[in-house]
Amino acid sequence: MNDPPAEKTRTTDGGTVIRQGTEGDASTGSSELLAEVRDLRLYFDTDRGVVKALDGVDFDLYSGEIFALVGETGCGKSITARSFMQLVPTPPGRYPSGRIQMRSRDTCDACGGSGCSECRDTGNAFRDLLSVTASEMEHIRGDRIAMIFQDPEETLNPSLTLRSHLAEAILAHQGEEVMREAGVPVDDLNGISKRMVRRYASAERSPLLTYICSLPPLRKHKSAIRDAVRERSLELLGQTQLPNPKAALSNYPHEMSGGQLQRVMIAMALAARPDLLVADEATTALDVTTQARIIELVGELQSEYNTGILYITHDLELVSDIADRVGVMYAGSMAEIGTVDHVYNDPLHPYTKGLLNSVPSEKTVGGRLQGIDGSIPDLTNPPKGCRFCTRCPDVMDHCSDVEPAITDEGDGHEVACHLYTDQRDDGSLT
């Protein structure tokens, strides 16, 4: 077998290689590169040693697509997602290397919007989410990237009504627009009054605040803002098809079911029309009938706003139903990336094959499941070379020495396995 073309091979060790693969062609034409993750490494310093939770993760995300990250417990899919929003506490975590380049709404400085290699031909500047400051992150979080978590009952504050939750999301991300719409001269107000008005509007009411807001310069604005926020909240809830949104606004989280709360979470996440929606096991806690409707809703909203969705789940069947592309993670590294079609019908990595063979399907009824032997490795001391080598049915001698590079097997179907690297034909290594 010939060596694969050099430009299609990407190494996991360098941060300098700019991808030239054909991955983008696999998704729809209108989608543009939204974010690229390169060589992401995340280590946790613990008493037992360094846990290498992520060790060289690379993938791309496009707007308007659903990219699913699948893998078993502890494979690092959730912390990859959380890294997008700087939600991993550092320390104990630290990023020894890696970048998460996300497209911003500013034009690219290097080319002025005409498209260059710096901005990946999108015309927008790319920013590294790992190196932005905390205050910059505040504007990215929620505004540009929104997140839906697994358990809405634990994510929402039990002591606040849904009105307060939504008002907070709306005012944090669209505060100025909403106030302007309500006829509040935001630009004329000074800093303190502006903050007071905001706080009043977000229903965060203390006796002092209520008193201040009932004094002349602010008095005339308060009801206008509240009406505008209410209007916008109803609009958002209406989009999520929540029954009786008017009554729901004054409900507390415990008064609603899990599926209804997840709709509220989606409404909040969409308040700012983010470019990227991260869904971390968003439907795992729900029943299948509810899950089906939430997924449908997410899909509808995604096509409306052309949002990119990073969908984290361990449910392989769900992914085959909803996602455009899928990345399979194993023990902190990416094993295989490709379109759902490619990965499910023609899996390349032995881990992907094992995973798919573990799923009970029509063919396995009453019989045995192939599954994968063994269990996931301890990440403080992962196996040398390929991390899957201890459980791999196709293991070769050099698997436990050399970490496999990612190779593109055509149409953006990438795999990190020695079965597909050129080392396979190298006599000295096999």
Partner 1 sequence: MSQSENPDNVTDVGTALSSETKNEIILQCTGLKKYYPVTGGVFQRKISDVKAVDSVDFRIQRGDIQGIVGESGCGKSTLARVLVNLNEPTDGNIYFDVPGDIADEIAEIENKTDDERTSAEDDRLEELKSEYEINTVTGKRAKHYRENVQFVFQNPSNSLNPRKLIHQTVSQPLKVHTDLQTVEREERVRELLNQVGLGEDFMYRYPHQLSGGQKQRVAIARAIATNPDFIVLDEPTSALDVSVQAQILNLLQDLREELDLTYLFITHDLGVIRHVATNVAVMYLGKVVENASRSELFQEPEHPYTEALISSSPAIETGGDRIRLSGDVPDPEDRPTGCYFHPRCHKSESFCGWNGTDVLSILQVNVTKDERVETLFDELNDTEIDGYHAEFEFTNRVDIQRVKGELSGEEDTLRSHNDELFDAVTDVDVEGQTVVLSFRDIETPELIESESGRDVACHLYDDDYE
> Which residue from 9, 24, 31, 72 is in contact with partner 1, where contact means CB under 8 A?
72
Alpha-carbon distance 59 to 341, whole Å? 17
Alpha-carbon distance 148 to 139, whole Å? 17
22-30, 52-60, 178-186, 359-367 -> range binding partner 1 (CB under 8 A): 359-367
Q: Closer to partner 1 by CB, 133 or 289: give it.
A: 289
Q: How far is the CB of 266 from partner 1 (least distance, A)?
A: 15
Q: Are the CB atoms for 9 and 2 separated by under 8 Å? A: no
β-partners of residue 127 are 102
CB atoms within 10 A of CB 14: 10
> Which residue from 18, 45, 247, 250 is in contact with partner 1, where contact means CB under 8 A?
247
> Which residue from 151, 153, 176, 315 is in contact with partner 1, where contact means CB under 8 A?
315
Q: Closer to partner 1 by CB, 45 or 296: give it.
A: 296
Of 141, 159, 79, nearest to 271 (Cα)? 141
> Which residue from 257, 303, 345, 380 is in contact with partner 1, where contact means CB under 8 A?
257
Alpha-carbon distance 338 to 324, whole Å? 9
Sketch the per residue contact string, 316 through 345, with partner 1: x for CB under 8 A, - otherwise. Answer: xxx-xxx-----------------------
4-12, 175-183, 205-213, 352-360 -> range binding partner 1 (CB under 8 A): 352-360
Number of residues that bind partner 1 (CB under 8 A): 47
Q: Closer to partner 1 by CB, 316 or 389: give it.
A: 316
Q: How far is the CB of 400 from partner 1 (least distance, A)?
A: 20
> Which residue from 2, 208, 288, 427 is in contact with partner 1, where contact means CB under 8 A?
288
Alpha-carbon distance 169 to 155, whole Å? 13
Sketch the per residue contact string, 366 through 405, with partner 1: x for CB under 8 A, - otherwise. Answer: x-xxxxxx-xx-----------------------------
Strands 124-128 and 93-107: antiparallel
Strands 66-70 and 308-313: parallel
56-64, 82-90, 255-263, 394-402 -> range binding partner 1 (CB under 8 A): 255-263
Alpha-carbon distance 236 to 234, whole Å? 5
Reduced to 3 states (helix: H, G, I; strand: E, B; else coil), residue 326 is: strand
> Which residue from 92, 299, 360, 393 is in contact with partner 1, where contact means CB under 8 A?
360
> Which residue from 94, 205, 246, 384 is in contact with partner 1, where contact means CB under 8 A?
246
Q: Spell out the residues 6+ positions from residue 411 whose beta carbon is closer than 8 angstroms to its own.
A: 22, 25, 26, 338, 339, 342
**CB half-sphere exposure, 19, CA atoms < 13 A:** 23
Distances (CA, A) of 112 to 35, 104, 115, 308: 19, 14, 8, 24
Q: How far is the CB of 142 from partner 1 (least distance, A)?
A: 25
Amino acid sitting at position 42: L
Q: How far is CA 408 from the centre of its chain?
A: 23
32-40, 164-172, 198-206, 353-361 -> range binding partner 1 (CB under 8 A): 353-361
Q: Closer to partner 1 by CB, 270 or 405: give it.
A: 270
Tokens, residue 150: 């697994």
Residues 114-143 that bind partner 1 (CB under 8 A): none
Interaction of residue 299 with partner 1, rule CB under 8 A: no
144-152, 285-293, 302-310, 395-403 -> range binding partner 1 (CB under 8 A): 285-293
Q: How far is the CB of 387 from partner 1 (least distance, A)?
A: 15
Interaction of residue 357 with partner 1, rule CB under 8 A: yes
Q: Closer to partner 1 by CB, 102 or 229: give it.
A: 229
CB atoms within 10 A of CB 134: 8
Q: Closer to partner 1 by CB, 25 or 296: give it.
A: 296
Alpha-carbon distance 323 to 341, whole Å? 10
Q: Spell out the residues 6+ positions from residue 363 whose beta carbon is closer than 8 angstroms to its own.
A: none
Burial of residue 30, with CB atoms counted within 10 A of its CB: 0-12 exposed, 13-18 middle, 19 or more buried:
exposed
What φ, ψ does residue 145 adopt, rounded to 5°?
Answer: -125, 125
Interaction of residue 260 with partner 1, rule CB under 8 A: yes
Burial of residue 332, with CB atoms counted within 10 A of its CB: 0-12 exposed, 13-18 middle, 19 or more buried:
buried
Interaction of residue 293 with partner 1, rule CB under 8 A: yes
117-125, 206-214, 315-323, 336-344 -> range binding partner 1 (CB under 8 A): 315-323
Interaction of residue 365 with partner 1, rule CB under 8 A: yes
Instruction: Return residues touching partner 1 (CB under 8 A).
Output: 72-73, 234, 238, 243-247, 257, 259-260, 287-293, 296, 314-318, 320-322, 354-355, 357-362, 364-366, 368-373, 375-376
